[in-house]
Structure 1
Amino acid sequence: HTALALARCGAKVTAVTRTQADLDTLVQECPSITPVCVDLADWEATEVALQNIGPVSLLVNNAAYASLQPFLEVTPDQFDQSFSVNVRAVLHVSQVVARGMKARGSGGSIVNVSSQASQRALRDHSVYCATKGALDMLTRVMALELGPYQIRVNSVNPTVVMTEMGRLGWSDPDKAQTMTSRIPLGHFAEVEDVVNAILFLLSDGSRMIHGVTLPVDGGFLAC
């Protein structure tokens, strides 16, 4: 959705994901999008895949992995996979892109897709919450170090979003009610709610917004 929205705004978009079928569908819908298929958890493969993507002025780090386990049942492989995708891949892709921004002296904007889970404990989400807390702090340090090169870095922190992953984790009505009852607006976010926030943070309309974590949560974190 973000890639399509950027393309509609006139951006030249490169979409990166590990699922070729998703890229095929995306390019069918918008042929101007350049697809790159790579597992972002694989550092070396990502380095190779991104070396020829050309100058990038706007970056959205949206890849995420969620595996819900009770704290006492967390396994090393789930921990490693979660941090590899949700934190390490963001750092790596941002390094590649920001180096180019710095070399060109052109500045740019980076938006990391975080979560309200970075700031509130959620049952069975111990690893996911930890990755998003790390991502928020990574966002702030990136902002500190990249700001002098006029590279803005922010994050959006949605509540549960009705994506495929969101439905997977929150399809049970009783479980969903435990969360929506804590959201003053009373419902989860739709994809467009998050896309609109991302577009704003990428745009010149937010040119003095830097190093923030922007909740898109219906008031969840205000309570």
Structure 2
Amino acid sequence: MNIRFEGKRALVTGAGRGIGRLIIKKLAECGAECVAMSKTQENLDSLRNEVPGIQTVVVDLADWTATRHALEKIGKIDLLVNNAGIMIMSPFLETTKEDLDKVLDVNFKAAFNVSQIVARSMVERGNGGAIVNVSSVASRTAFMNMASYCSSKGAMDSLTQVMATELGPHKIRVNSVHPHLVPLTDMGISIIASLPLVVIESCRLRIPLLNRLPDVEDVANAVVFLLSDQASNLNGIALPIEGGFEAN
């Protein structure tokens, strides 16, 4: 399967590190003109050194107005990946409004905000497009001390379904990917450090496919596929990337 994106412009949020960084690299390899969005200039500078020719945008996605201003300067986008996300771990009874707001602002409201601006432009141009929201198995599986994160991803799943329904008639496909814990990312490392080893091991052993947690490559490959014309009839799906975790 030869996936190519020549003539397409792609925007990836949270592109400075981890999953988003690899998605940008793969999209560029496939011929897309890429726009990488992150709140950290240093990460974008190093990414530009690795992927010359990409456009970089520094913005804190938690700032609704600043994000909209930044998007107005980007120009047309054909492919969008809402990847930016944060996690603040705390027991449900101890989660503060401030922490809940921080998580929802980045994980849900930012995806809503960015998608609204990009999709409106797609509709106006009339050429269609593709959007992938990076969700998580945590949207459908309860994990201890992750009430705010699980809730934010559940909200993103509902948003994906509504977007797919409303935007489909405009030839805009909207799907989501649901990775399990990805160990070699900043968030994955943080989760592993904060939970007892027995909990991490029990999750891993519940995965039928060789008891293997996904890696960054697994997630990036799935996102690129869903953005491509090879997935032209896929709309509103939630693609699990967890080796059969939910099936077991």
User: 1:182 corresponds to which residue?
Assistant: 206
Matching residue of 2:114 = 93
Structure-to-structure mapping, 1:204-219, within 5 angstroms: 204-219=229-244
Q: CA offsets per residue over residues 97-144 of structure 1, 9 Å max, x none?
A: 101100000000000000000111011111111111111010000001
> What SS does structure 2 have at the residue aligned with 1:222?
coil
Q: Shift of residue 178 of structure 1?
A: 2.4
- 1:173 aligns to 2:194 (yes or no): no
Identity %: 49
Deviation at 1:24, TM superposition (A): 0.8
Q: How much has 1:174 moved relative to structure 2?
A: 2.6
Deviations 1:57-108 (A, max 9, x none): 0000000010110111101111001100011000100011101100000000
- Structure 2 counterpart of 1:48, from 53, 69, 75: 69
- Unpaired runs of 5+ in structure 2? 1-21
Letter in 1 for 2:153: K
Q: How does 1:49-68 map to 2 (within 5 A)?
A: 49-68=70-89
Secondary structure at the aligned position of 1:209 is classed as: coil
Quote the offset at 1:188 in angstroms.
Answer: 1.2
Give the 4+ runs in structure 1 shifted more than 4 A: none
Distance 1:115 1:152 in 2: 19
The aligned residue for residue 50 of structure 2 is: 29
Corresponding residue for 2:98? Answer: 77
Deviation at 1:30, TM superposition (A): 0.8
1:145 aligns with 2:166: yes
Q: Tell me the SS of whatever aligns to 1:155.
A: strand
Q: 1:32: how far off? A: 1.2
Deviation per CA, 1:140-167: give whole Å up to 9, x if none.
0000110110000000000001211111
**Secondary structure of 1:124's aligned partner:** coil
- Pairing partner for 1:196 from 221, 232, 236: 221
TM-score by length of 2: 0.88
Letter aligned with residue 200 of structure 2: A
Counterpart of 1:18 (choices 26, 39, 44) is 39
Distance 1:222 1:210 in 2: 22
Q: Amino acid of the residue matched to residue 170 of structure 1?
A: I
1:173 offset after TM fit, Å? 3.0
**Partners in 1 of 2:92 and 2:39 — Cα distance?**
28
Alignment: residue pair count: 223
* One-letter identity of the residue aligned with 2:134: V
1:80 counterpart SS class: helix
State the match for 1:164 in structure 2: 186
Q: Distance between the aligned counterparts of 1:33 and 1:63, measured in 2?
A: 18
Q: Normalised by the size of structure 1, how large is the TM-score?
A: 0.98
Moved more, 86-95 or 159-168: 159-168
CA distance in 2 between counterparts of 1:203 and 1:32 reads: 21
SS at match of 1:221: coil
Structure 1 residue ranges without an equivalent (≥5) = none
RMSD: 0.9
Report the CA distance between 1:170 and its aligned residue.
1.5
Query: Matches of 2:213 and 2:40 in 1, distance apart?
Result: 26
Give the corresponding residue for 1:135.
156
Structure 1 residue 47: deviation in Å? 0.9
